[in-house]
Structure 1
């Protein structure tokens, strides 16, 4: 997927039916935002008590850069579709604006994956090159192993997560080193927990996912947006 472990985006997509395919990348400028607007959207991912002291990233033509240096270890940023799973149908959708705020554990061990993937995508590198670079970074610990307790707030009422349905959903996400969310009851009938593989959206890529460390994103809907106003709760 922030968290797009991002990410994240694959987990949201698992509960959705995508209305329109996006076969190729749009011009880079279609994915960029005015800097102040992007900072505000990123901060809206979490309650102000968290996001006001967070580091904030913004997207540039070459990748994410720090726009605000925080003090609490959280990192807020706005994922685009290509920050997440490479086989997600809305990967190239220029409307995707997925505001997330990673906690310190996720900021150290998940956000760097999305930043690397984004920078290499914008540089025109192939999915195979990106996957290999991620494997090397994890093997050499340039990107640390997933830290226990890694999670992300995605509670912005101004996000655009998918063309499907209401386009947005107030939720929090948890990153776990499991091959799936069965032990959490994810995706079971009546369960409030959604689950999806971080690395790939479709089951056809199980073999590719198996070459990477197990990483599942578990998503739980919440009853309010980050500003405290009521949000519609999702159902399975």
Structure 2
């Protein structure tokens, strides 16, 4: 039951549905979202298994957008998404700076999803409004600037310090599979509850299959 509640709240948080995206004149003040760069690197690193994150590229948010702070060697990229830089159309949780979602992308997600996150970081640095974000994401997918994955694209979200919103807090450790246009029914019997995989934003280009995990990673001092 707890996991079902989490799934419902996560749906609200991500706002992934093209049809449900709301229009807003809110604009980003990127300085509200800046963290100490040393801490942000540790936070990003905590998203993935240590053996992977130790060799991954790490990104931090600056006044100019996201910048690579550590160059990795395994093709993985770890980054802390903010409310404006998730895979959603608009802002995932209003403009709440507390929302911090560390994720570690594999090679496929680094090719197809990371560019979306980085581009939205540039838009935030420019102070664009939520409606600008919504229009920008739609246009980018329609024009092919943003592309749906054609290979395995996934992200680890295992950090105990992830903060999704006031209700969910850090939610649960989980894995995200970027499965464009997937529907929950494709996972089989969805009546089992949310301890099994489920899909957010069914049948859209930004559909995400959520795989529940068991253990959080700590943020190393």
Is the structural similarity TM-score above 0.5? yes
Question: Which of 37, 40, 53 is the equivalent residue of 1:38?
Answer: 40
TM-score, length basis structure 1 = 0.72
Partner secondary structure for residue 77 of structure 1: strand
Query: Which residue is 1:53 aligned to?
Result: 55
Partner secondary structure for residue 177 of structure 1: coil
Matching of residue 13 in structure 1 with residue 13 in structure 2 = no
Partner secondary structure for residue 181 of structure 2: coil
Q: Deviations over 1:150-187 (max 9, x none)?
A: 00000001111111144332111100021533312586
Query: Which residue is 1:215 aligned to?
Result: 206
- Following superposition, the deviation at residue 86 of structure 1 comes to 4.3
Mapped partners of 1:106, 1:12: distance in 2 = 24
Q: Deviations over 1:75-120 (max 9, x none)?
A: 0000101112245561311101111000000000011112212321
TM-score, length basis structure 2 = 0.77
Question: Which of 148, 155, 158 is the equivalent residue of 2:158?
Answer: 155
Question: Which of 62, 65, 68 is the equivalent residue of 2:67?
Answer: 65
Query: Which residue is 1:193 aligned to?
Result: 197
Question: Which of 114, 117, 121 is the equivalent residue of 1:114?
Answer: 117
Query: Which residue is 2:82 aligned to?
Result: 80
Mapped partners of 1:194, 1:174: distance in 2 = 10
Stretches of structure 2 lacking an aligned partner (at least 5 in a row): 1-6, 14-24
- Following superposition, the deviation at residue 144 of structure 1 comes to 4.3
Partner secondary structure for residue 57 of structure 1: strand
Q: How many residues align?
A: 200
Question: Which of 152, 170, 174 is the equivalent residue of 2:173?
Answer: 170
Q: Which moved more, 1:104-113 or 1:144-153?
A: 144-153
How has the CA–CA distance of structure 1 residues 89 and 60 changed in structure 2, closer, same or farther, with 3 Å as cutoff? closer
Partner secondary structure for residue 82 of structure 1: coil
Mapped partners of 1:184, 1:172: distance in 2 = 15
How has the CA–CA distance of structure 1 residues 226 and 135 changed in structure 2, closer, same or farther, with 3 Å as cutoff? same
- Check the 8 A contact 1:54/1:72 in 2, yes or no: yes
- Check the 8 A contact 2:43/2:159 in 1, yes or no: yes
